[in-house]
Structure 1
Amino acid sequence: MLRSRFDRTRTGLAGLWVAVAISGCANVGQEGASADSAASSAQAAAAAAAASDAAAQVQQAASDAVATRTVTTTKTTHYRVKRGDTLARIAQKNNCSVKDLLAWNHLSASAHVKKGQTLRIVTQQTVTVAADGKPVASGAASNSAGSREMAAQTARAAKSVALAWPAQGAVVEPFQAGETRGIEIAGKPGDPVRAAADGKVMYAGTGLNEYGSLIIVQHNKDFLTAYSHNRKLLVKTGDVVHQGQQIAEMGNENNTRVSVLFELRHDGKPVDPMPYLPSGRS
């Protein structure tokens, strides 16, 4: 029955597909048909609202595209290395990758940074201009360009996804097929929870009690990640997020310890995220 749900919704809106995928496994092992029905109804209502909002954004994007275009400009800033900094931490702080840091600063893969060292950080800014070439104030038009790009990415089929660690704590609960949905990473209240890869937030809320405060990010047509038990959500449904960007604060909502339950799903099914994560931890 669960599989048929996935097949039906794949031809519909992505937000609804994600909601059904999570709902199907969140209710595994729960007793009482009425409780399952109530949870499913609440889930469906939240998904419908998200889908409606997404449709409105797409319509607005199409309208904006007719009268505007985007121009990308490059800006270089400098970061002074602090005590305890590593390339990975600096990359997270500046929403970039270690590979980018190495390239911008002409460093080798084995390079180490020292306190007081200055690193170049290169950022790109997209400016929206009207048909006459004049800049348009940042807002709906600029956001629409990013939404269109991410919509294309999330609709693209992919055989894999490259993930970064969503939190820095120890893995206290490993993935066990058929028994757990992901891995549990421990930490302290308020520790940052970060997006494991670029994507679009398909759900951010507390509609599923078992998960507490939950965020679902879709990365492409086949892969999505979920982050549960958060203390505070820093993104909302429809936001575009980038790898390493903080999306929540760690907490213990509907859980016995402070941690984040991190799930990776392929075609709606939970899979072990460990093979997709880098082996080294900073």
Structure 2
Amino acid sequence: MTETAVYAAGGVVWRMVDGKLRVLLIHRTRYRDVTLPKGKVDPGEMLAETAVREIFEETGIRVALGMPVGVSRYRLPSKRTKIVHYWSAEATEAAIRASAFVPNKEIAAIEWVTAKKARSRLSYPVDLEILEHFLQLVDEGVLRTFPIIVLRHAKALGREEWDGEDAARPLAPRGKKQANSIVGPLLAFGARKIVSSPAVRCMKTVTPLAAALGRKVEKSSLISQDAWEEGESDARTIIGQRVRGRKAAVLCSHGPVLPDILSELALATGTLRGSYLGSASALEPGAFSVAHLSVENPGSGIVAIETHIPKV
């Protein structure tokens, strides 16, 4: 991120009505325009949690993010550049029923429309470009997706600072802050299942997320660094289980193991391997890559992959 830019995030919120696609538009009170739900990043937020928060604040609908659908850039009256990241986001019937939206000083109305009507009603070309990118993915048969989230453990104490077994090495103070800071972004992608190396630094990284979900962490030595160093790791088994499950999952492991995990994910989904796998696996402590797969046909390959880095 650059200092001069204003960052924001939002989504193309969608639902199916009688088998037909509907997209959610918002009518803003002050500007008397029609746009996609979005808003500026709050201090300390990562973009994904901004998108989910802003969608909820503007529409009353709680969503989990799907695949990224583009980034818009435009000049503000202040001459600063505004950069807005968008994701697709399905609004479930339960979430819609739970919405407490009422017209307010910021949003006058929300409206579910067909793609054709959305094209004609959006006030700004930059929003239309995002919509068209989303609709292109829909035309390609990719609408519902689920994420496999590959997470590197947060910052741990250095080996030189620890006298015990490596697997028992704890998080550093910065690592503890990172573990808390990534809870919101991971929840934004609908994280539910958590699988972790049994190493303390991995388990402590996902403990805040598990607490937020009220779920237990599944320990697996198959993605531990000890097993990897001994040639006994088995990322293929873990990846196979998660792809077959077709549910959002977080896999927390170690830097040296991550390339194997991403490689097995590509193989399990019939994805052509390339340099993007190296980038997605070369994670800083506490960072994670989100691989989006088609719910209907995960074997069609990784639809999109994105990396998120904690601000701590």
Q: Fold match, TM over 0.5?
A: no
Tell me the TM-score normalized by structure 2. Answer: 0.28
